[in-house]
């Protein structure tokens, strides 16, 4: 199973054994991705499903502020309506509660496994400014690299990150002194699925501490 539908709890048959099979098949897929050190999109999905399960268990309804912004208002109302209808049916609600109690620790374990990998990848990354960092640092450039380096622009001893920054300054003259940073990973990781998401969070944390 590639993805777990946002409304997997209400979609189709509300039966403990069936939902258990659906969830475990999905988590098996997630585990295989984690074994390849591929964190996303599964980490974001796990966070969504975990919050969903907790919200229903603790509140018997959805909490809008608990969910990622990519869940549209229409999707949210659809889920909330489905859960409210199920809550009114005691037999269905009893089955749903069993599914939820089984699912929460399963999803939590997968989240913890992913978090360990995320933290390890982050520990292998270093962030440093390129050139002089301006006082205004809300806009700029971020270079992300890892060994072996395969960049859009080939980097040689004559082509440094400083020279790449200068090239950008010459190209975008209305952006005179942008903040520019380098995030360097000491190890090679899947770029889109792992390194870039980790680098983005590391960058945000760095800016927050610097503010």
Neighbours of 49 (CB within 10 A): 24
Query: Residue 1: inside a domain, yes or no?
Result: no
Q: How many domains does the chain have?
A: 2
Is the domain of 114 the same as that of 133?
no
Rounded Cα distance between 33 and 114, Å, is 10
Query: Are 42 and 2 contacting, i.e. CB atoms less than 8 angstroms apart?
Result: no
Is the domain of 141 the same as that of 173?
yes
147 falls in which pLDDT band (50, 70, 90)? Answer: confident
pTM of the entire structure? 0.79
What pLDDT was estimated at residue 158?
Answer: 45
Taking residues 64-73, what's their average pLDDT? 60
Is the domain of 106 the same as that of 150?
no
Query: Residue 11: inside a domain, yes or no?
Result: no
Is the domain of 110 the same as that of 143?
no
What pLDDT was estimated at residue 211?
Answer: 62
What confidence tens digit (pLDDT) does each residue in 114-142 have? Answer: 999 999 999 999 999 887 776 666 677 88
- Segments forming the whole domain that contains residue 36: 16-122
Is the domain of 24 the same as that of 107?
yes
């Amino acid at each position: 199973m590639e993805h777990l539908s946002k409304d997997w709890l209400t979609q189709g048959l509300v039966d403990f054994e069936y939902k258990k099979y659906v969830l475990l098949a999905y988590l098996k897929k997630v585990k295989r991705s984690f074994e390849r050190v591929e964190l996303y999109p599964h980490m974001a999905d796990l966070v969504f499903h975990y919050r969903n399960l907790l919200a229903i268990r603790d509140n018997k309804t959805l909490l809008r502020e608990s969910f990622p912004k990519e869940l549209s208002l229409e999707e949210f109302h659809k889920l909330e309506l489905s859960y409210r209808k199920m809550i009114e049916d005691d037999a269905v609600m009893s089955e749903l509660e069993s599914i939820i109690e089984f699912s929460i620790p399963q999803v939590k374990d997968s989240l913890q496994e992913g978090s360990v990998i995320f933290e390890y990848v982050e520990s292998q990354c270093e962030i440093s400014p390129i050139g002089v960092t301006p006082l205004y640092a809300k806009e700029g450039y971020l270079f992300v690299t890892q060994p072996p380096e395969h960049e859009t622009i080939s980097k040689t001893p004559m082509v440094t990150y400083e020279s790449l920054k200068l090239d950008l300054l010459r190209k975008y003259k209305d952006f005179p002194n942008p903040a520019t940073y380098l995030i360097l990973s000491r190890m090679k990781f899947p770029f889109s699925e792992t390194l870039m998401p980790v680098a983005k969070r590391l960058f945000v944390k760095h800016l927050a501490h610097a503010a």
